Chain A
Amino acid sequence: MRPSESFPKVKYLYGPVATIFASTKTGSWRILRPVIQQEKCTRCGTCAKHCPLDVIEVDRGNKEKEVVIDFEYCKGCGICANVCPRKCIEMVPERGVK
């Protein structure tokens, strides 16, 4: 028997518990913004693999598809720029960039 089958549902839980899966909009923390030179990028995926927030979308090997970063969450730490083997990500000041 799976434990959940034995658990009756109750409307209110007592004691400390989190039941909502949520996130903090960490994009507002950003001072520097990663800008990708899409033409130079080989879509190797190194940046996505090392992004602490997992917010870089790369279709590996597919040059047709642009690399996309979710700026709602990107903190602008710059790890992606640092690990990029071809150095095609640049960190630019957040303000003044659209």
Chain B
Amino acid sequence: MDGNAAAAEAMRLARVQVISAYPITPQSPIAEKLADFVAEGSLKAKYVRVESEHTAMSVAIGAQLTGVRACTATSSVGLALMHEVLGVASGCRLPIVMAVVNRSLASPWSLWCDHQDSMAERDSGWLQFYAEDPQEVLDYLLIAYRVAEDPRVLLPAMVCMDGFFVSHTPAVVLVPEQETVDSFLPPYNPANLYLDPDDPMFVNDLTPPSDYTEMRYQHKVAFEEAFKVITEVQEEFFRLFRRRYSFIETYKCDDADVVLVTLGSMSGTAKYVVNELRAKGYKVGVLKIVVFRPFPADQIRNALKHVPVIGVMDRSAGLGAEGGPVWIEVSRALSGLEPMPKVAGFVGGLGGRDLAPHVIEKAFRNLIDIKEGKIEMRQGSKWIDVREDAMKIREVKVNV
């Protein structure tokens, strides 16, 4: 089962009741599979075949407000088209859960993976989980529903998976029993905002400056609460399904003096490279960020406080910023540590370019060199896999 199939399976297990999805590469198989489930009767849901992603999210908002579990999935420019309504879903505190298949944003057009689409939505007030493989896609979606719907949280959630590297890469996925999932995820019970003729309220009206700040504060508090809730839910998930998850996953970090921070499918490749380098005597490790919103600064600080040299691999460009968005947040999380670790940023894997073992190894070599004092660390993110002729790739004949 690939990541897309795992996402559809998770939504079926979550017994979603309204599905509104619009096809986009590489998300389309999710939209197709959910349509199949509804057609064959294995999922009792209303499938709304929408005409855009903007409508997909709008339908989900309307449906969720009536008290049903709504879901959708998207990718790239589709997510960007949703941007406006993502804020409505989160501002109205609707626990909509969405699968996001990470794909680059235009322009340039690209069908392939990077994280710029979901990173552009990192402040949209949604929870964000990043899955490394199809099993995590399924598991994080189930966890996301529980966390999102918790009355202490009430936030929508995105579960992000790398386009093709996870979405289209088959792997063995353990699919839990419906009964167990039902006990983990009871029917949706809306307690906050809803649309009910028998108990009417007017949702999402104009809010004056005297209240707006407070509503944003409530939203911020929800993210703080989410830390507690995510921990509880992951604990219960382990009890029922025997798979343990946390905000971050550390791989051979305990004795490491060089650690690379990763997100999504690159984490696996990084672990592989760690094993290769360890065989050669280097004490290296990987820290994978699972939950990006809320950002687990404390967990990252605790896990890395003993590590002198840290690298962060961003699969997005962070245009105009000092470095990639993950690097900025990790650097911030580690600042103030005594002694202060060196935190080097890398940008790579854009527009479907593979973060292949040799690219990750290059990043590790760079960090090892910094550790050994062979090179100085440069502030900001280093573009790890850019061609030397970057500025000359479109040459035209000029009459001189």
A–B direct touch in complex (beta carbons closer than 8 A): yes
Q: Of residues 127 to 184 in B, which have CB atoms within 8 Å of A's CB atoms?
A: 151, 154
Asked if A3 contacts B193 (CB within 8 A), the reply is no
Does A97 make an interface contact (CB < 8 A)?
no
Does B42 make an interface contact (CB < 8 A)?
no
Q: Give the size of the chain B interface in residues (CB under 8 angstroms).
A: 26
**CB contact under 8 A between A8 and B67, given known A3-B196, A14-B215, A16-B203:** no
Asked if A4 contacts B192 (CB within 8 A), the reply is no
Residue among A7, A14, A15, A19 making CB contact with B67, cutoff 8 Å? A7
Asked if A3 contacts B93 (CB within 8 A), the reply is no
Asked if B201 contacts A17 (CB within 8 A), the reply is yes
Q: Which residue of A is nearest B187, CB measured?
A: A6
Q: Collect the chain B residues with CB atoms within 8 Å of residue A10's CB.
A: 151, 191-192
Docked pose: A3 CA to B207 CA in angstroms: 26
Docked pose: A3 CA to B233 CA in angstroms: 27
Asked if B201 contacts A18 (CB within 8 A), the reply is yes
Docked pose: A19 CA to B200 CA in angstroms: 8
Docked pose: A96 CA to B194 CA in angstroms: 50
Q: Which residue of B is nearest A5, CB measured?
A: B198
Q: Which residue of B is nearest A9, CB measured?
A: B191
List residues of A whose CB falls within 8 A of some B CB.
2-4, 6-8, 10, 13-19
Q: Collect the chain B residues with CB atoms within 8 Å of residue A7's CB.
A: 67, 189-191, 194, 196, 199
Asked if A17 contacts B205 (CB within 8 A), the reply is yes
Docked pose: A12 CA to B191 CA in angstroms: 10
Does B302 make an interface contact (CB < 8 A)?
no
Interface centre among A7, A14, A19 (most CB of B within 10 A): A14
Asked if A15 contacts B196 (CB within 8 A), the reply is no
Docked pose: A6 CA to B187 CA in angstroms: 10
Asked if B201 contacts A15 (CB within 8 A), the reply is no
Does B92 make an interface contact (CB < 8 A)?
yes
Given contacts A6-B67, A14-B193, A15-B193, 10 further A-B contacts (CB under 8 A): A3-B66, A6-B189, A7-B199, A10-B151, A13-B192, A13-B201, A15-B204, A16-B215, A17-B193, A17-B202
Question: Secondary structure at chain B's binding surface: helix, strand, loop or mixed?
Answer: loop
Q: Collect the chain B residues with CB atoms within 8 Å of residue A18's CB.
A: 201-202, 205
Docked pose: A62 CA to B102 CA in angstroms: 71
Q: How many A-B residue pairs have CB under 8 A?
A: 64
Asked if B191 contacts A15 (CB within 8 A), the reply is no
List residues of B whose CB falls within 8 A of some A CB.
66-67, 91-93, 151, 154, 189-194, 196, 198-199, 201-205, 207, 215, 218-219, 222
**CB contact under 8 A between A4 and B91, given known A17-B201, A18-B202:** no
Distance between B386 CB and nearest chain A CB, rounded to angstroms: 44
Docked pose: A60 CA to B203 CA in angstroms: 38
Q: Collect the chain A residues with CB atoms within 8 Å of residue B66's CB.
A: 3
Q: Which residue of B is nearest A19, CB measured?
A: B201
Residue among B190, B196, B218 making CB contact with A14, cutoff 8 Å? B218
Asked if A16 contacts B207 (CB within 8 A), the reply is yes
Docked pose: A47 CA to B216 CA in angstroms: 46
Distance between A15 CB and nearest chain B CB, rounded to angstroms: 4
Asked if A16 contacts B205 (CB within 8 A), the reply is yes
Q: Collect the chain A residues with CB atoms within 8 Å of residue B196's CB.
A: 2-4, 7
Question: Lowest 3 CB-CB distances: which A-B pairs, in order?
Answer: A4-B199, A4-B198, A18-B202
Asked if A17 contacts B203 (CB within 8 A), the reply is yes
| A–B Cβ pairs within 8 angstroms, 12 of them | A3-B198, A4-B198, A7-B196, A8-B189, A10-B151, A14-B193, A14-B218, A15-B215, A15-B218, A16-B203, A17-B193, A19-B201
Docked pose: A13 CA to B151 CA in angstroms: 11
Interface centre among B151, B189, B194 (most CB of A within 10 A): B194
Docked pose: A17 CA to B215 CA in angstroms: 11
Asked if A14 contacts B192 (CB within 8 A), the reply is yes
Docked pose: A7 CA to B204 CA in angstroms: 19
Q: Collect the chain B residues with CB atoms within 8 Å of residue A4's CB.
A: 196, 198-199
Q: Which residue of A is nearest B151, CB measured?
A: A10
Distance between B154 CB and nearest chain A CB, rounded to angstroms: 6
Q: Collect the chain A residues with CB atoms within 8 Å of residue B219's CB.
A: 14
Docked pose: A17 CA to B207 CA in angstroms: 9
Q: Collect the chain B residues with CB atoms within 8 Å of residue A19's CB.
A: 201-202
Docked pose: A3 CA to B151 CA in angstroms: 18
**CB contact under 8 A between A14 and B198, given known A7-B67, A7-B190, A7-B191:** no
